[in-house]
């Protein structure tokens, strides 16, 4: 049986903060994916942590991600990097940290035989905030600049991209998806996040659940 390891790597949005980790997209993938693709041995690991930025993520990527020999890594950062407090990371630092994490993932030999032993990083933009509540700590004008960096890096390295920021904004009432703290998602928001991640996940595998080969930019 083919073993496929999926790692979630992000901040509190990826942990399911506010509604409990049982509603996080990784827990839901762990629950539903095996029933859709029973011929694969699925290993789901959520290495996301509340409050982290790309700086802490980069420092911990070896133990949190690479040590698990992942086949797919869902990455979602930016909510804390863009916050106007001690967690703030400049646009330059954010891009450098994110770029380095992508390169480390693409350079990692997971020795699984899938996708030429190269993990697939899937980049996910953070959700917008409710500015009426989140200001002055956070605002969408600043957050959108971090979103732009993520989208640019996805194009640069040919990584799959889930633009969740604009997905939420495209809804009839985007504030219906944000929790009362103005930053995290509510149940409806986490449902939408899972839906778009599951849809992207199914593009990465064939009808049997076997990981398809994905071509990245040559970084050698």
How would DSSP label each residue in the chain? -EEEEEEEEESHHHHTTTT-GGGSHHHHHHHHHHHH-TTEEEEEEE---TT--HHHHHHHHHHHTGGG--SEEEEE--TTTTSSSTT---HHHHHHHHHHHHHHHHT----S-GGGG--EEEEEPPPP--HHHHTTT--HHHHHHHHHHHHHHHHHHT--EE-HHHHHHTSTTGGGGB-TTSSSB-HHHHHHHHHHHHHHHHHHB-TTSPBPP-------
pLDDT at 219 exceeding the cut of 80: no
pLDDT at 9 exceeding the cut of 70: yes
pLDDT tier at 22 (50, 70, 90 boundaries)?
Answer: confident
6-10, 17-21, 129-133: least confident range: 17-21
pLDDT tier at 220 (50, 70, 90 boundaries)?
Answer: low
- The mean pLDDT of the chain is 96
Set out the domains of the chain in order of their start, with CATH numbers: 2-204 (3.40.50.1110)
pLDDT in tens, 54-88: 999 999 999 999 999 999 999 999 999 999 999 99
For residues 167 and 20, the model is more confident at 167
pLDDT at 20: 77
């Amino acid at each position: 049986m083919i073993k496929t390891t999926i790692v979630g790597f992000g901040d509190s949005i990826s942990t399911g903060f506010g509604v409990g980790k049982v509603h996080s997209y990784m827990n839901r993938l762990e629950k539903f994916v095996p029933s859709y693709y029973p011929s694969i041995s699925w290993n789901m690991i959520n290495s996301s942590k509340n409050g982290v930025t790309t700086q802490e993520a980069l420092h911990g990527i070896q133990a949190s991600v690479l040590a698990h020999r992942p086949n797919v890594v869902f990455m979602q950062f930016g909510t804390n990097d863009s916050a106007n407090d001690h967690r703030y990371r400049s646009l330059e630092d954010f891009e450098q940290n994110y770029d380095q994490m992508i390169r480390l993932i693409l350079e990692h030999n997971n020795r699984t035989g899938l996708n030429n032993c190269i993990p697939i990083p899937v980049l996910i933009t953070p959700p917008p905030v409710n500015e009426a509540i989140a200001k002055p700590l956070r605002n969408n004008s600043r957050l959108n600049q971090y979103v732009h960096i993520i989208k640019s890096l996805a194009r640069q390295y040919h990584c799959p991209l889930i633009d969740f920021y604009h997905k939420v904004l495209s809804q009839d009432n985007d504030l219906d998806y944000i929790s009362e703290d103005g930053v995290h998602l509510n149940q409806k928001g986490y449902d939408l996040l899972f839906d778009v991640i599951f849809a992207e996940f199914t593009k990465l595998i064939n009808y049997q659940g076997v990981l398809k080969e994905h071509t990245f930019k040559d970084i050698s």
